[in-house]
Structure 1
């Protein structure tokens, strides 16, 4: 499996969030605290990550902290792609 660069994943996620919310998001903004994510939208993001990056998000990986920021989501994707133990 190809491991995507962190910066590439982050930019793609910022673009995805912008396309869905019409807001500009910083990579370290707490998406839940700022009202950017609901539990339903978080599940949409899980599906997006799985389809876009060919990863499977299951079990302990579904923790809110893995989806709190763009950076944390990118770290999760890289770990699931086999880039190491980042974000555990």
Structure 2
């Protein structure tokens, strides 16, 4: 697993998340796919996603950030990571 310590961009976060999701689900994942609406992600897998975000990007997702809309798509998770890390979109 790669841990990012700096220079986090939207592209690096999205690529990492897509790779993680595709490896775990063995399905192609688009950045705007509704992961829950499509049935690709279950509540148990959502916990794995949370742990992946925290351990890979060195963030703590707590309080109001733990809500479905922040995990619904790769794009939403990317925005969450960028906000929590102060990373910049490229």
Do the two structures share a fold, i.e. TM-score over 0.5? yes
Q: Structure 1 residue 3: deviation in Å?
A: 4.7
How many residues get paired?
84
Q: TM-score, normalised by structure 2?
A: 0.88
Bigger relative contact order, structure 1 or 2 (CA pairs below 8 A, ≥6 apart): 2
- 1:2 and 1:12 mapped to 2: Cα distance? 14
1:12 matches 2:20: no
Gaps of 5+ in 1: none
Deviations 1:2-52 (A, max 9, x none): 351001100110000011000000000000000011111001000000000
Give the alignment partner of residue 75 of structure 1, picking from 76, 79, 88: 79
TM-aligned CA distance change 1:9 to 1:73, over 3 Å: same
Shift of 1:82: 1.9
Pick the aligned partner of 1:49 from 46, 53, 59: 53
Q: Which runs of 5+ in 2 are unaligned?
A: none
Runs of 4+ in 1 over 6 A off after TM superposition: none
Relative to the length of structure 1, the TM-score reads 0.90
- Superposition RMSD on alpha carbons, in Å? 1.3
SS in 1 for 2:29: coil
